Structures are given as structure tokens and as C-alpha cells.
């Protein structure tokens, strides 16, 4: 056995004390010293003789609550890791106390300094994991702590807190965690920084004799920690005599089964599977020590946990984001105040299943940061109208996405066409018979190579027959498809794939090369056969052809059910990091049926899909579908002739294009031949969505398809079809000056199973009003429908702010879009919440001024942005001109005067640019956030450059 050994330390031991005054954010009144009798351990590891007394330093708001005459509903027991101390939890102590004083839930917060750490006693004795779990028990017994208790741990303190949690089911009401690890896989190395700290000759030198380990940890802040905060963390560790615990903690990392603490770690890890109390995990994915693989392990053990990944945060997540506000919000919404009844960890058997704990459902606004508006604003944002009656419109009967593949399995009718398949051999026609057979074979083959129901499969395949077959094979098998297209850019795609943590990756060569270079997780499967050298270099286990061969004569397992998760679809990331949107099979089925009900797309319909989601839905609709010859990640590559060729190939009656694609189709119409125009004349409906579509653009497209009704649906990744309007409807709304109200783009009335409400804005631009249908009130658009997404993936806080059940069987989603309903029940979109301009005269939404300015003959496009401090911002208009400007500058006096005349708002400046910046996925959504920062710089003297 590898015995636990302390690193070499100085001989002098430091007694317990309280922190010096003046540490940022730390109230000296919270500090107390508690003498705790030390109990014996029956395994004889660590500590002193039973009965020895140890002095602990704590942060505790209990006395302050008593002074206020407040009785706590429970206690949050906080345990720091290495090399921090209770200072880590100062924001939680502060916010919990302030919230209680203001009339909120009353939580006592106790944040400990573990022995040999912070300002607690330096014992000089080895304290392996079992001893530290017992230490915490000794403390809570001395304090006379009664339930309910919610534990909160970080780093190695997460393990210690969970050890206490599983041993005290009679007191436990919940567990909360910041980045930590509870299990180390035998097949994966421990994190590199810890390997370095444990290297021969490094332990004492790096952790005790010098502050290297401490300083390295303090360098992990995102953004960097202020010097005063770093010094506060260093305060209890100024000499080697006070750093012995830092080295002791590192030495206690159980690197293998022979380590003294391995068995205790394994005991706690397995006991977690029996824990059914509510759980919260707040995670910083930029952590070089506790990466997402440790989060995956924790989720596997606590599958009912609420999880929020704060994109951009790292190991010191407590310093990077407003974790305290998130934790207190969770305590107020998810944690019970009664402890559970769970058998002690030492006597439990592994659970075969865990009953999920219900939680608040899935904002497109970024998660809470250090400068977030706080709990009061969040509470207001999620305060949806509790008096709203249940929705009487029920979801359609569940029909699996592969319904038509089963029904038409022996049909030689065309199911889909690849206009530009790999190899460049001309269009590839796929029958229902072939597609159905391939889907079954691939699904069975995937099952043979270890893809199981619930496994996540990342699809890095361009829209094609291969992608369609693989996607339907995965959903038939019950695997969860992860779709994040290349339009996110390499950084966004990497963030999405790593965040989703797929178990398997199926990709074409470019995707597999990126996966290898960037260390994306999961078993690798290629769409084509690769040379042996390439397979080894890319870590590819199988090719698609191998799966087809393996699955040719195999039976499929039982299909997934309606409530099972089917897909994680990533948003565009145009207003922040892309988010994984989780759909169940039932919800995706409802999407397909909503399209059928709204547009009549169904069995036998010819569908041209220049918008990837609808290309993939074609087989679920029973439609003949074709993707035009284009780069779907760059919609502007679609030409009018490519659309005409796609229409002719399947005798299409329905065409769906993104706004950017539609604009280029109109721009390239001169190349159309007579035969092309004849083909387009057969189209009966065309749709464009993904961003607001102007009436002139829609009219120009309608002229190319004179027999078609032009539609522009409103939706988002979270709900692909919320409202719809035709070109005639847009013109009717434009003539109705009274109904137009505050302006914007009219996107029509709700679809058959959709309800739309508005949450009014306050003077700061926050959507705090109760949801209502009151006309002409600008606010955040809130929607409810059977086909709205289930939740966001590992974004609990975003879920909470975006969606809340207000009645039995009813779900609402806050879209992050701003708009209003008119007196005829039509929805008008005025912009996005992050783009609202808060002037001294009130809130200004950008779309109305932008449309008015864009209508000028010498303006192609316009953007309205705010510069200056919130509440007194100035409106700046930035335009693309006709002809396009060759350089950035102030608009000519005549143009500036025209802009000011039509904008309807006081305008501080009018700027001209050759090109407005757009998001890389849609190529049509103006990046107003980037543009606002650029305009701010220009007006404060920065060099004139293209934004």
C-alpha cells in the first residue's frame, strides 16, 4: 500500500486566528473560532488521539441573522478546496445575509477553513480524505448543526462536502458544487498541473517551501483577479509553516488504487448514485484541472442535477461569475427545506435507477456575471403571469420521426436528392426504399459498435444524403444527435462540441481533422473509407460502410419513446455563445406536424430546402426533399439558377430559403434561362425565415415565383415555427398605421398551436412585466407551443430565465426578442434584448429606425446602436450606401439630414461603412453588439476602420 506522506514543512506550527481587517469583501463580523474535539478514526489514518481539540476558523452569518430576528430555513455548509480558504465564499455569505435582511429566504451560511488551511489550526498531522470527512463531521456536531443542510463544495472541498453529505441523509436537503472531481478514470491521466505538482522533487518545493502552487491557482481567474483579492487569498499562507496543508492536500490525491484515500473516494463516488436530493452544479469549462469529463462523471452519478456551464469561466468560477446569485436563486426555486431519507452511504447498494427530481424548465441572454443586475432582476425576469389559464390547444398525437421511413420502406419513389454529392458525379437520387434500408442498417451497425440509447452522437457531416441517413439512424436507435454546423466558426464549433460532450463523433474528413486537432471527445466514425494511415492519425474506429455491413442482418432494439431526448441543436451564437437546445422525440414530432398543418407540407410534397433544419425534416414530413447546390454554411452562395435546378429536379412546390440566401437569389436572377423561370413558376409556396425579411426583398422573390404564396415565418432554434405572415399580410399591416404602433417587422399571427405574449420593458430595458396580450406594449416576446424546445443543455440558469411552467401541461419560452402585438393580434419584432438602447428619453428598439432609414433610396442597409452609459445612451445610425462606400466615415450632410428626418429618434451621428458586420451563420443578422463597440470607439477618437 502507498502510505499517505506529508511533504517536508517547517517545524513551527501556526495556531488558529482570524483574518486581518481590510480584506476586500470580507466582513470581520462573520469570523469566529470554534474549538472542536477530534474523534478517532477506526482505520487509524491521520489526525491525533481522540479527544484532542482542534481550532477551526469559520465565516458564519448566524449571529447577524439572530440580530435581525430571523430564523434560518436551513444552513448552507461551504467547503473550500486547495489552495483557497473560506474567503472563496464571501460573496455567498454577503448576498445571503442581504437577501434575508431584505425579506428573502433566510439561509445561514457557514464557510469553513479546513484544518491546516486558511486561518484554522495547523495540526502538522496527515489528514487523508477519510480524516477530513470525519473532521467536518466533528465540526458540525460541535456546532449542533441540525437540518436541513445544503452542502456546497469546490475543488477538493467538493469531495469532502459530498463525503459529509452521503453520511448525513437525516440532515441533508441538497448539494451544490463548483468545479470538482469525485472519480478518476483508470484509463485517463490525472490533470497535467497536478501531475507536475506530484512529480519527484516538486511536491515540497512547489506547494510548501514556495508559493508556486498557490500563485499558479490565483492566475486562473477569468478575468484576472485584482491584486487586492490575490493578496487576500495569500494572507493565511505567507510562510512555509502555514502552507503545509496545501502540500498535504496535493499529496492526498489518490493517483491509484494503492493510495490511502482511494477507497474513501470510491466509497463517496458510489454513494452519490443513491443521492436523490436536489443537486446543482455550476461549472467553469475553462478549468485546466477539472475539465468537462469530470462534470460528465458527476452528471452520470447525479442525473437529476441542475447544471449550468458558465462559458468563459474557469477553475476559480467563484471569482469569475456571480455564482452566489445563481446558488441563492436555485435555493429559492429547487432546494427543499426538509432533509431527505436516504440510507447511510456505508450501507447502500448501487442503484439501478434514480428518480429524477423535477426542476424549473429551461435565456438567450448570457449567464450571470460579476456585474449582473442581481437576484431582484432575475426574479422579475422569471415572474411570468401565474394567473394565465392553461392552454386548451393540445399537442398533436405523437408520430415518430421515422414514421414515413417505415411506411414507405418498399417504395421506389424519390425521398431525397443530393444536387452536389461528394465526388461531383451529378445529382444523387435516393428512393424511400434505399433510405429506409440504409437507416435501419446504420442504426443496427451503430448499436453493434457500442452506440446505446441515450448516447450523444455529434454529427460533423455536411447536409447530404449521408447526413440524413445517419441522423435518422441515430434517432431511431435512441441516440441523441448533436448538431452544430460549421457556420459557428471553428471557435464556436469547438465550444459547442466540447460542451455537449458527445460519446461518438460521425464526420466527414474536414470534421474529423478538426476533431483530432482540437481534441474533441468521442469515438470517431468516418462517412467514407479512409486509408489505414489516415484512420490511425484521426483516431477513426469505423467507416459508415462498416456500419452498414455490420447492421445488414441485425435486429434493432426497442425504439425510443416520445419523452426521450432526441437532439441537441445549437443556436447561431449571434447574440452570445451558441447554446445547445434540447428536443425530445415528441417535440420534434410536433415541429414536423406544425409545418404540415401550417403549409400543407407532407406526403408527396416536393421541398427545396436551402435552410439546413428543413432539409433534415424532409423525411419526417414525407416530402421529396432536395438541398440546392450551395455551401449551406454560407447562405450567400446560393444562386437563382441553383434554386431553379433544385425545383426542376423534384418538381418542387415548396421552397424554403434563409434571408441571406434569398437576397442572393434575387441578385443573381439575370442568369436564369427560360426553362429555369418555367420551373420556378411551378412553386406554390416559398418561405424565408431566420432573420426579419423586408417587404421589398420578399416582393422581389415573389416576382421570380409568380404562382407562389410568399411566407415569412417567425421562429428560432428553440421553436422553429411560432408565427407566420404572407407578403399580402405584410402589405396589409403596413397600411394599418394604427396597428403598427411602435414599428418593427410584422411577422404575423401565431400558428395553430402557438400562443404569444409580451413581457413589458421597464426604463432600463429589462423585461419585468407580467405576460399579456395588451396591444401596442413593447416588451420581450414570450411563446408557448407543443413544439417549443425542452430545455437548454447544461444551462440551468438560462433555462430558469427563459422558460417557466405557469399552468399544468404548459411551457413558456422567453425568446430574447423584443416586439409588440398590434390590435389585430399580429406580432411585430423590434429587435433583441441585448440591443435595446436606453436613452434619457426612454427605451429605443432598433428595428423601427433601421427599416425607416433602409427605405431611403441611397441606403442599402442600416443599423441603430447605442453609445454611452446605460440610461443616457445616444442613438447612432450606421449605414451601407448605394453605391457602396469605399471607406468608413461620417455620412455626407445631405444623407445625414435624410436619416435624421426619417429615423423618428434624435440621432447623435450617422456613419457610413462599406459593409455592416453580420453573424457568420446566417449572414443576415447584423452584429449590433460589435457595431456598438466600434461606434463608441469612433465617436471617442478611435481610428476610422471597418467594424
Which DSSP string do the residues of 404-460 spell out, in sequence order?
Answer: HHHHTTT--SEEEEESS-TT--S-EEEEHHHHHHHHHHHHHHHHHTT--TT-EEEEE
Q: What does the pLDDT read at residue 799?
A: 80
Concatenated DSSP letters of 234-250: HGGGSSGGG-HHHHHHH
| Span 844-864, pLDDT tens digits | 999 999 989 998 999 988 999
Report the C-alpha gap between 660 and 689 in whole angstroms: 10
Candidates 427, 391, 407, 438; CA nearest to 812 is 391
Residue 355 has pLDDT above 60, yes or no: no
Candidates 396, 387, 547, 424; CA nearest to 474 is 547
Candidates 737, 736, 770, 733; CA nearest to 749 is 733
- Using 50, 70 and 90 to split pLDDT, how confident is the model at 339? low
| Span 164-175, pLDDT tens digits | 999 999 999 999
Residues 327 and 232: beta-carbon distance below 8 Å:
no
Q: What does the pLDDT read at residue 487?
A: 62
Residues 3 and 46: beta-carbon distance below 8 Å:
no
Q: What does the pLDDT read at residue 381?
A: 32
Crossing angle of the two packed helices 640-650 and 674-681, in degrees rounded to 10: 60
Q: How far apart are the first and last CA of the chain?
A: 63
Long-range CB pairs of 672-675 (<8 Å, 24+ gap) are 672/640, 672/641, 672/644, 672/704, 673/641, 675/644, 675/648
Q: What does the pLDDT read at residue 293?
A: 86
| 3-class DSSP state of 626 | strand
Tell me what the mean pLDDT of segment 611-632 comes to: 81
Residues 80 and 158: beta-carbon distance below 8 Å:
no
Q: What angle do CA 273, 567, 292 make, to 5 degrees?
A: 50
Of residues 365 and 77, the one with the higher pLDDT is: 77
- Using 50, 70 and 90 to split pLDDT, how confident is the model at 200? low
**Please, what's the b/e burial string for 358-383 (b: 16 or more CB within 10 A of its CB; e: otherwise)?**
ebbbbbbbbbbeeebebbebbeebbe
Report the C-alpha gap between 298 and 293 in whole angstroms: 9
Between the ranges 213-222, 802-811, 937-946, where is the mean pLDDT highest? 213-222
Q: What does the pLDDT read at residue 729?
A: 93
Tell me what the mean pLDDT of segment 578-584 comes to: 88
CA atoms within 13 A on the CB side of 300: 16
R_g of the chain, CA atoms, integer Å: 30
Q: What does the pLDDT read at residue 461?
A: 85
Report the C-alpha gap between 137 and 523 in whole angstroms: 43
Report the C-alpha gap between 18 and 26 in whole angstroms: 11
Percent of the chain with pLDDT over 70: 84
Tell me what the mean pLDDT of segment 829-841 comes to: 92
Q: What does the pLDDT read at residue 66?
A: 96
Report residue 569: phi and psi, to 5°. Answer: -110, 125
| Span 900-943, pLDDT tens digits | 999 988 999 999 999 888 764 444 578 888 899 888 888 887 77
Q: How many CB atoms sit inside 10 A of residue 703's CB?
A: 11
Q: How many CB atoms sit inside 10 A of residue 534's CB?
A: 14
Report the C-alpha gap between 494 and 828 in whole angstroms: 35
| Span 709-725, pLDDT tens digits | 999 899 888 888 999 99
Tell me what the mean pLDDT of segment 173-183 comes to: 95
Of residues 118 and 489, the one with the higher pLDDT is: 118
Residue 636 has pLDDT above 80, yes or no: no
Residue 827 has pLDDT above 70, yes or no: yes
Report the C-alpha gap between 899 and 774 in whole angstroms: 31
The three cell numbers locating residue 119: 486561518
Report the C-alpha gap between 805 and 384 in whole angstroms: 9
Q: How many CB atoms sit inside 10 A of residue 390's CB?
A: 10
Crossing angle of the two packed helices 659-667 and 695-704, in degrees rounded to 10: 60
- Using 50, 70 and 90 to split pLDDT, how confident is the model at 213? very high
Residue 743 has pLDDT above 90, yes or no: no
Report the C-alpha gap between 851 and 779 in whole angstroms: 19
**Strand 714-716 to 719-724 pairing:** antiparallel
6-15, 277-286, 626-635: segment of lowest average pLDDT: 6-15
How far is residue 221 CA from its own chain's centroid?
Answer: 21
Q: How many CB atoms sit inside 10 A of residue 553's CB?
A: 8
DSSP 871: T
Tell me what the mean pLDDT of segment 418-424 comes to: 67
Residues 309 and 336: beta-carbon distance below 8 Å:
no
Between the ranges 15-24, 319-328, 339-348, where is the mean pLDDT highest? 319-328
Residues 73 and 27: beta-carbon distance below 8 Å:
no
Tell me what the mean pLDDT of segment 425-448 comes to: 93
Tell me what the mean pLDDT of segment 228-247 comes to: 95
Residue 871, judged by CB atoms within 10 A of its CB (0-12, 13-18, 19+), counts as: exposed
235-244, 395-404, 684-693: segment of lowest average pLDDT: 684-693
Of residues 546 and 796, the one with the higher pLDDT is: 546
What's the residue count for the chain?
947
Can you list the alpha helix ranges (DSSP code H) found in 34-172?
62-67, 90-101, 129-143, 156-167
11-20, 510-519, 816-825: segment of lowest average pLDDT: 11-20
* Mean pLDDT of all residues belonging to the chain: 85
Q: How many CB atoms sit inside 10 A of residue 201's CB?
A: 7
- Using 50, 70 and 90 to split pLDDT, how confident is the model at 138? very high
Residues 226 and 317: beta-carbon distance below 8 Å:
no
- C-alpha to C-alpha distances, 303 to 200, 261, 279, 454, nearest whole angstrom: 39, 25, 9, 12
Q: What does the pLDDT read at residue 205?
A: 82
How far is residue 937 CA from its own chain's centroid?
Answer: 30
Tell me what the mean pLDDT of segment 345-352 comes to: 33
DSSP 337: S
Concatenated DSSP letters of 717-743: TTEEEEEE-BHHHHHHHHH-HHHHTT-
Residue 9 has pLDDT above 70, yes or no: no
Please, what are the domains in the chain? 34-192+257-359 (3.40.50.1820), 413-560 (3.40.50.980), 600-706 (3.40.50.980), 717-833 (2.30.38.10), 837-939 (3.30.300.30)
CA atoms within 13 A on the CB side of 439: 30
Residues 577 and 366: beta-carbon distance below 8 Å:
yes
- Using 50, 70 and 90 to split pLDDT, how confident is the model at 633? low
374-378, 459-463, 805-809: segment of lowest average pLDDT: 374-378
DSSP 390: P
Candidates 477, 455, 508, 480; CA nearest to 405 is 477
Residues 309 and 285: beta-carbon distance below 8 Å:
yes
123-137, 345-359, 578-592, 649-663: segment of lowest average pLDDT: 345-359
Residue 223 has pLDDT above 50, yes or no: yes
Residue 115 has pLDDT above 70, yes or no: yes
Q: What does the pLDDT read at residue 368?
A: 41
pTM of the shown model: 0.81
Tell me what the mean pLDDT of segment 301-305 comes to: 94
Report the C-alpha gap between 893 and 914 in whole angstroms: 18
Spell out the residues 6+ positions from residue 587 whose beta carbon is closer than 8 angstroms to its own: 566, 786, 787, 788, 789, 790
Amino acid at each position: 500500500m502507498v502510505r499517505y506522506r506529508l511533504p517536508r514543512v517547517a517545524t513551527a506550527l501556526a495556531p488558529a486566528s482570524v483574518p486581518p481587517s481590510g480584506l476586500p469583501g470580507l466582513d470581520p463580523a462573520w469570523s469566529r473560532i470554534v474549538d472542536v474535539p477530534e474523534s478517532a478514526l477506526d482505520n487509524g489514518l491521520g489526525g491525533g488521539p481522540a479527544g484532542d481539540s482542534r481550532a477551526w476558523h469559520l465565516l458564519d452569518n448566524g449571529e447577524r441573522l439572530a440580530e435581525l430576528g430571523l430564523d434560518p430555513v436551513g444552513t448552507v455548509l461551504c467547503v473550500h478546496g486547495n489552495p483557497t480558504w473560506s474567503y472563496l465564499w464571501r460573496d455567498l455569505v454577503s448576498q445571503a445575509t442581504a437577501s434575508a435582511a431584505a425579506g428573502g429566504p433566510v439561509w445561514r451560511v457557514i464557510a469553513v477553513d479546513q484544518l491546516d488551511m486558511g486561518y484554522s489550526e495547523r495540526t502538522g498531522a496527515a489528514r487523508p480524505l477519510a480524516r477530513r470527512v470525519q473532521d467536518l463531521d466533528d465540526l458540525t456536531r460541535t456546532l449542533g448543526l441540525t437540518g436541513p443542510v445544503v452542502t456546497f463544495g469546490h475543488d477538493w472541498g467538493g469531495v469532502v462536502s459530498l463525503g459529509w453529505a452521503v453520511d448525513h441523509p437525516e440532515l441533508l436537503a441538497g448539494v451544490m458544487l463548483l468545479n470538482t472531481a469525485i472519480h478518476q478514470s483508470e484509463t485517463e491521466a490525472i490533470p497535467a498541473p497536478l501531475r507536475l505538482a506530484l512529480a519527484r522533487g516538486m511536491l515540497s518545493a512547489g506547494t510548501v517551501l514556495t508559493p508556486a502552487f498557490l500563485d499558479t491557482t490565483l492566475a486562473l481567474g477569468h478575468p484576472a483577479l485584482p491584486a487586492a483579492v490575490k493578496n487576500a487569498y495569500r494572507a493565511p499562507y505567507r510562510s512555509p509553516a502555514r502552507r503545509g496543508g496545501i502540500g498535504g492536500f496535493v499529496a492526498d490525491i489518490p493517483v491509484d488504487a494503492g493510495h490511502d484515500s482511494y477507497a474513501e473516494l470510491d466509497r463517496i463516488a458510489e454513494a452519490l448514485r443513491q443521492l436523490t436530493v436536489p443537486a446543482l452544479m455550476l461549472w467553469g469549462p475553462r478549468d485546466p484541472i477539472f475539465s468537462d469529463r469530470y462534470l460528465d462523471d458527476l452528471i452520470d452519478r447525479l442525473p437529476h442535477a441542475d447544471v449550468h456551464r458558465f462559458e468563459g469561466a474557469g477553475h476559480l468560477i467563484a471569482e469569475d461569475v456571480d455564482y452566489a446569485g445563481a446558488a441563492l436563486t436555485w435555493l429559492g426555486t429547487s432546494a427543499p427545506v426538509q432533509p431527505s431519507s436516504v440510507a447511510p452511504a456505508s450501507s447502500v447498494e448501487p442503484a439501478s435507477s434514480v428518480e429524477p427530481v423535477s426542476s424549473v424548465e429551461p435565456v438567450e441572454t448570457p449567464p450571470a456575471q460579476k456585474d449582473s443586475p442581481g437576484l431582484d432582476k432575475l426574479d422579475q425576469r422569471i415572474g411570468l403571469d401565474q394567473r394565465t389559464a392553461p392552454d386548451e390547444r393540445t399537442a398533436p398525437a405523437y408520430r415518430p420521426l421515422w414514421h414515413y421511413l417505415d411506411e414507405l420502406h418498399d417504395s421506389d419513389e424519390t425521398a431525397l436528392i443530393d444536387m452536389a454529392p461528394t465526388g461531383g458525379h451529378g445529382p444523387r437520387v435516393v428512393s424511400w426504399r434505399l433510405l429506409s434500408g440504409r437507416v435501419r442498417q446504420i442504426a443496427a451497425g451503430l448499436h453493434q459498435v457500442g452506440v446505446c440509447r441515450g448516447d450523444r452522437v455529434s454529427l460533423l457531416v455536411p447536409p447530404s444524403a449521408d447526413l440524413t441517413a445517419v441522423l435518422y439512424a441515430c434517432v431511431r436507435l435512441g441516440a441523441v444527435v448533436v448538431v452544430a454546423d460549421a457556420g459557428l466558426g471553428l471557435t464556436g464549433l469547438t465550444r459547442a462540441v466540447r460542451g455537449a460532450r458527445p460519446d461518438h463523433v460521425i464526420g466527414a474528413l474536414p470534421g474529423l481533422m478538426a476533431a483530432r486537432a482540437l481534441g474533441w471527445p468521442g469515438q470517431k466514425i468516418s462517412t467514407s473509407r479512409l486509408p489505414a494511415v489516415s484512420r490511425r492519425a484521426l483516431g477513426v474506429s469505423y467507416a459508415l460502410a462498416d456500419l452498414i455491413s455490420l447492421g445488414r442482418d441485425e435486429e434493432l432494439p426497442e425504439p425510443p419513446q416520445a419523452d426521450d431526448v432526441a437532439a441537441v441543436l445549437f443556436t447561431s451564437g449571434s447574440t452570445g455563445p451558441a447554446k445547445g437546445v434540447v428536443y425530445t422525440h415528441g417535440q420534434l414530432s410536433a415541429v414536423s406536424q406544425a409545418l404540415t398543418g401550417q403549409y400543407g407540407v407532407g406526403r408527396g410534397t416536393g421541398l427545396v430546402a436551402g435552410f439546413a433544419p428543413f432539409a433534415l425534416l424532409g423525411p419526417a414530413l414525407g416530402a421529396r426533399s432536395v438541398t440546392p447546390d450551395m455551401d449551406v454554411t454560407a447562405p450567400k452562395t446560393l444562386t437563382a439558377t441553383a434554386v431553379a435546378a433544385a425545383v426542376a429536379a423534384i418538381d418542387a412546390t415548396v421552397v424554403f430559403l434563409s434571408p441571406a440566401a434569398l437576397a442572393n437569389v434575387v441578385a443573381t436572377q439575370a442568369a436564369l434561362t427560360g426553362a429555369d423561370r418555367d420551373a420556378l413558376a411551378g412553386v406554390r409556396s416559398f418561405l424565408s425565415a431566420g432573420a426579419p425579411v423586408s417587404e421589398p426583398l420578399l416582393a422581389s422573390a415573389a416576382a421570380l415565383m409568380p404562382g407562389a404564396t410568399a411566407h415569412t415565418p417567425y421562429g428560432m432554434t428553440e421553436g422553429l415555427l411560432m408565427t407566420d405572415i404572407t407578403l399580402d399580410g405584410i402589405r396589409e399591416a403596413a397600411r394599418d398605421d394604427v396597428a403598427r404602433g411602435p414599428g418593427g417587422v410584422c411577422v404575423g399571427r401565431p400558428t395553430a398551436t402557438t400562443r404569444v405574449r409580451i413581457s413589458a420593458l421597464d426604463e432600463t430595458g429589462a423585461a419585468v412585466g407580467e405576460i399579456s396580450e395588451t396591444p401596442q406594449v413593447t416588451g420581450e416576446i414570450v411563446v408557448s407551443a407543443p413544439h417549443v424546445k425542452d430545455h437548454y443543455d447544461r444551462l440551468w440558469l438560462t433555462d430558469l430565465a427563459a422558460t417557466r411552467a405557469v399552468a399544468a401541461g404548459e411551457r413558456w419560452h422567453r425568446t430574447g426578442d423584443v416586439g409588440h402585438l398590434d390590435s389585430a393580434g399580429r406580432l411585430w419584432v423590434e429587435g433583441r434584448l441585448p440591443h435595446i438602447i436606453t436613452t434619457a428619453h426612454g427605451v429605443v428598439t432598433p428595428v423601427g429606425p433601421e427599416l425607416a432609414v433602409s427605405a431611403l433610396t441611397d441606403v442599402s442597409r442600416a443599423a441603430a446602436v447605442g453609445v454611452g452609459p446605460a440610461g443616457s445612451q445616444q442613438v447612432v445610425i450606421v449605414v451601407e450606401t448605394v453605391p457602396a462606400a469605399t471607406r468608413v466615415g461620417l455620412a455626407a450632410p445631405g444623407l445625414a439630414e435624410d436619416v435624421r428626418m426619417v429615423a423618428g429618434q434624435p440621432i447623435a451621428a450617422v456613419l457610413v461603412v462599406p459593409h455592416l458586420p453580420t453573424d457568420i451563420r446566417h449572414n443576415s443578422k447584423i452584429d449590433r453588439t460589435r457595431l456598438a463597440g466600434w461606434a463608441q470607439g469612433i465617436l471617442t477618437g478611435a481610428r476610422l476602420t471597418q467594424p
